[in-house]
């Protein structure tokens, strides 16, 4: 599994998670690269197979090849801070088909991930796009913005197909692994909705402001934020499944969940959760141990920088 993190100090960090060979060994995070890739703060990263994308407050997206830690160039279609990045990788492929980006200019851009040619720009919001959620089919996406709106984008036709006012600004939006539900985060509150008609299914309240969310198996939703905890909520019941308290010394800014059916699969342990914090630490946990008390990290690396985002992939690397 590869983990990539962005930082406030404009560095991008890459690590390889090495599995244990026997029960006496622990996992380790081996450094792959660290590079001052942007002119200013990195706000978003995405990984699919051997390809990495990062976006920053310099309005630029950089593309990298994980195989040899090299740069594949940069993209300059946005005129504002890059706020979200997502690759679409069909289930039968180990290389992404498209890259979708969102920015503070209110736009969403679609790229061909083979040659990274710009295909389409969609005007999604009147103000900043806060977050982007790509449906597992790759045909549509949801966005939330500073204009307090939720928008649905038709990625096949390259246009906005639906927009509604929320009455309150949402900072995060995510589909579950099946695409049947989606969640939105507004400060400390999370709402779970039916994907087909956006019907509200349930709401739950976190202790403090939520900064990152990531779906897991069996309807679990992993949440991190100002409370420094990793909380797994059951979106079917609206109850806490388990919580790793004080997982970091500072706020949690990114979560990557290994799942049996998601992008982080193919033989890796489906019970691993990786987190990144503004304290500079990246930690890997076994979520099964959380039900037995506070677990110790299986692996840990300190970047000595203020981390802002985290992404991961365990698809076998291939040549670009």
The answer for residues whose C-beta is within 8 angstroms of residue 25's C-beta and 6 or more apart is: none
- Per-residue pLDDT of 226-250, as tens digits, reads 999 999 999 998 899 999 999 999 9
Structure confidence at residue 292 (pLDDT): 72
- Per-residue pLDDT of 200-229, as tens digits, reads 999 999 989 999 999 998 899 999 999 999
- Per-residue pLDDT of 120-175, as tens digits, reads 999 999 999 999 999 999 999 999 999 999 999 999 999 999 999 999 999 999 99
Structure confidence at residue 317 (pLDDT): 40
For residue 214, give the nearest of 154, 162, 174, 167 by alpha carbon: 174
Structure confidence at residue 20 (pLDDT): 61
Q: Tokens for 30?
A: 């081996």
Structure confidence at residue 261 (pLDDT): 44
161 contacts 122 by C-beta, under 8 angstroms: no
- Please state, in angstroms and rounded to a whole number, the distance separating the CA atoms of residues 264 and 3: 10
The backbone torsions φ and ψ at residue 147, rounded to the nearest 5 degrees and listed phi first, read -80, 10
Please report, for residues 90, 103, 108, 155, 308, the alpha-carbon distance to residue 138 in angstroms, rounded to integers and kept in the order given: 8, 19, 14, 7, 26
46 contacts 99 by C-beta, under 8 angstroms: yes
Alpha carbon 142 to chain centroid, angstroms: 14
User: Is it the case that residue 50 has pLDDT exceeding 80?
Assistant: yes
Structure confidence at residue 266 (pLDDT): 41
Q: What percent of the chain has pLDDT over 90?
A: 77
For every residue of the chain, which 3-state class applies, written as one string? Answer: CEEEEEECCCEEEEEEEECCCCCCCCCEEEEEEEEECCCCCEEEEEEECCEEEEEECCCCEEEEECCCCEEEEEECCCCCCEEEEEEECCCCCCCCCEEEEEECCCEEEEEECCCCEEEEEEECCCCCEEEEEECCCCCEEEEEECCCEEEEEECCCCEEEEEEECCCCCCEEEECCCCCEEEEEECCEEEEEECCCCCEEEEEECCCCEEEEEECHHHEEEEEECCCCEEEEECCCCEEEEEECCCCCCCEEEEEECCCCCCCCCCCCCCEEEEEECCCEEEEEEHHHHECECCCCCEEEECCCCEEEEEEECCCCCCC
54 Rama sector, left if φ>0, alpha if ψ -120 to 50, beta otherwise:
beta
Average pLDDT for 47-59: 94
The backbone torsions φ and ψ at residue 218, rounded to the nearest 5 degrees and listed phi first, read 60, 35
- Please state, in angstroms and rounded to a whole number, the distance separating the CA atoms of residues 56 and 62: 9
Other CB atoms within 10 Å distance of the CB of residue 304: 10
Average pLDDT for 58-73: 90
Q: What domains does the chain contain, in order, with CATH numbers?
A: 2-313 (2.130.10.10)
- Per-residue pLDDT of 261-307, as tens digits, reads 444 444 445 678 999 999 999 999 988 787 777 788 999 999 999 99
User: Is it the case that residue 320 has pLDDT exceeding 50?
Assistant: no
- Please state, in angstroms and rounded to a whole number, the distance separating the CA atoms of residues 49 and 241: 30
Structure confidence at residue 21 (pLDDT): 60
Mean pLDDT of the chain: 90
* DSSP bridge partners of 283: 275, 300
Radius of gyration of the CA atoms of the chain, in A: 18
Structure confidence at residue 85 (pLDDT): 98
Structure confidence at residue 269 (pLDDT): 54
Structure confidence at residue 300 (pLDDT): 93
48 contacts 315 by C-beta, under 8 angstroms: yes
Residue with tokens 């389409």: 120
Q: Is 190 exposed, middle or buried (0-12, 13-18, 19+ CB in 10 A)?
A: buried
User: Is it the case that residue 35 has pLDDT exceeding 60?
Assistant: yes
């Amino acid at each position: 599994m590869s983990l990539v993190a962005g930082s406030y100090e404009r560095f991008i960090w890459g690590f390889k998670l090495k599995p244990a060979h026997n029960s006496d060994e622990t996992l380790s995070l081996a450094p792959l690269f660290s590079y001052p890739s942007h002119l200013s703060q990195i706000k978003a990263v995405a990984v699919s197979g051997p390809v990495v994308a990062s976006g920053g407050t310099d309005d630029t997206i950089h593309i990298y090849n994980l195989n040899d830690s090299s740069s594949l160039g940069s993209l300059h279609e946005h005129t504002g801070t890059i706020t979200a990045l997502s690759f679409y990788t069909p289930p039968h492929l180990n290389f992404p088909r498209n890259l979708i980006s969102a920015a503070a200019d209110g736009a969403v851009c679609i790229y061909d991930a083979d040659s990274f040619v710009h295909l389409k720009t969609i005007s999604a919001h009147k103000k900043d796009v806060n977050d982007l959620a790509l449906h597992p089919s790759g045909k549509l996406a949801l966005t939330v913005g500073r204009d307090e709106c939720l928008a649905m984008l038709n990625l096949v036709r390259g246009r906005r197909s639906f927009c509604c006012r929320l009455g309150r600004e949402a900072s995060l939006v995510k589909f579950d692994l099946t695409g049947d539900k989606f969640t939105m985060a507004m400060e400390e509150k999370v709402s779970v909705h039916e994907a087909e008609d956006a019907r509200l299914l349930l709401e739950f309240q976190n202790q403090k402001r939520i900064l990152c969310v990531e779906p897991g198996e069996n309807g679990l939703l992993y949440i991190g934020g100002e409370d420094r905890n990793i909380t797994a909520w059951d979106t079917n019941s609206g109850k806490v499944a388990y919580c790793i308290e004080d997982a970091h010394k500072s706020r949690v800014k990114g979560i990557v969940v290994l799942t049996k059916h998601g992008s982080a699969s193919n033989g890796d342990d489906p019970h691993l959760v990786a987190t990144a914090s503004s304290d500079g630490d990246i930690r890997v946990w076994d979520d099964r141990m959380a039900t037995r008390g506070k677990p110790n990290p299986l692996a840990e690396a300190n970047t000595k920088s203020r981390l802002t985002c985290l992404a991961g992939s365990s698809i076998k690397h291939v040549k670009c």
